[in-house]
A and B are shown apart, each in its own frame.
Chain A
């Protein structure tokens, strides 16, 4: 017994495949193949209709609500990201000195702030300050608990009472501490106010608030543990907490 698959295939025998028409639409065919496919389509009503349907995109499918599908994908993507907490922030830029970083993220913490910084701190301890840039608007310093939206870029500024090892971490699932900066370990920094942490992070749409901690340890490893909202660090360390509240985009 012989099988005839012509009733199952796209187009007629001798017509371009679905992939060829997709590639023609995307401009992804080599010139000779593009010319041959275009010539065929020009003389074949069936293939002209197939290509026209491809060119319509989602409009070709009246029963599909593309916005609803996209919303479900974004929700599922956000849920998947939330289950992988070290992906909740996308580290955007490398050292501040990089021209590209400066061009894209023109965040300016400005001169050292004479006003008491807004972060929560113990007297004499380290302070985490957060600058927010939304769209093309100028960067502004925000208070702990301020509302942010997915896509906002956040940059960190630290006040340090002494030289020491510095980390910025976020609370992950199950009270895990997730590195925000640096990606691994800790960074040695000197004392001083208004020190800009290189790079920036983009807030994703994972949902929920983000609780950040600056950990500063002079002469000790910044190996802290979290239980609820309470951060416990070795002697010689101080910390500063900062809450970023996620608001839905308007």
Chain B
């Protein structure tokens, strides 16, 4: 997309901006980073707005572009900052369930395999079924299950347990 009139940018911003911001806030956990992500993602949207077609596909595209941008931000934090050890838990028995909240999940997402991390966002954070996540990831429902299984096993080890 070439030069965009200011009023058209404003229209797209009001239409799609809230979805992007809500999602960035949820993934990044603080308003400052979410606002920065909103700007960055929206500039990508303006560059590729010709790809928009129907609302359903547009929504999936927005989810993907925002998710991957925020995952990159989270990974960048990991590189900049010393890794927090606070989220580790004491070793647990194999049958013991450990609750993972959003802050712990963010730590995990920054360190996980990128493909598995994206699947974990859709399933564990957004609450999507494997069927709903499959078209966003461009894989089958079964492959979504495999990605989640690998993420969960890796996360259990990362949190101090054993797989």
A104 vs chain B, min Cβ distance (A): 14
A123 within 8 A of B: no
Residues 14-29 of A, flagged 1 when their CB comes within 8 A of B and 0 if not, give: 0111111011001111
- Chain B residues near A5: list those with CB within 8 A: 100, 105, 124-125
Kindly report which residue of chain B lies nearest to residue A25, judged by CB atoms: B19
Which size bracket describes the interface of A in this complex? 35 or more
- Chain B residues near A184: list those with CB within 8 A: none
Structural contact, A204 and B5, CB atoms closer than 8 A: yes
Structural contact, B18 and A60, CB atoms closer than 8 A: yes
How many angstroms between the C-alpha atoms of A1 and B153 in the bound complex?
A: 9
Kindly report which residue of chain A lies nearest to residue B8, judged by CB atoms: A151
Which size bracket describes the interface of B in this complex? 35 or more
B87 within 8 A of A: no
A-B contact pairs, 18 of them (CB 8 A): A1-B161, A2-B94, A2-B98, A6-B99, A7-B99, A27-B55, A57-B14, A57-B17, A57-B18, A58-B14, A60-B18, A70-B13, A73-B9, A77-B9, A77-B43, A77-B46, A80-B47, A90-B3
**B residues apposed to A, CB below 8 Å:** 2-7, 9-10, 13-14, 17-19, 21-23, 25-26, 31, 35, 38-39, 42-43, 46-47, 54-56, 58-60, 63, 91-102, 104-105, 122, 124-129, 132, 136, 152, 155-156, 159-162
Question: Can you name 11 extra interface pairs (CB under 8 A) apart from A1-B159, A28-B59, A58-B17?
Answer: A3-B152, A3-B159, A7-B102, A8-B102, A53-B22, A60-B18, A66-B14, A73-B13, A80-B43, A81-B3, A204-B5
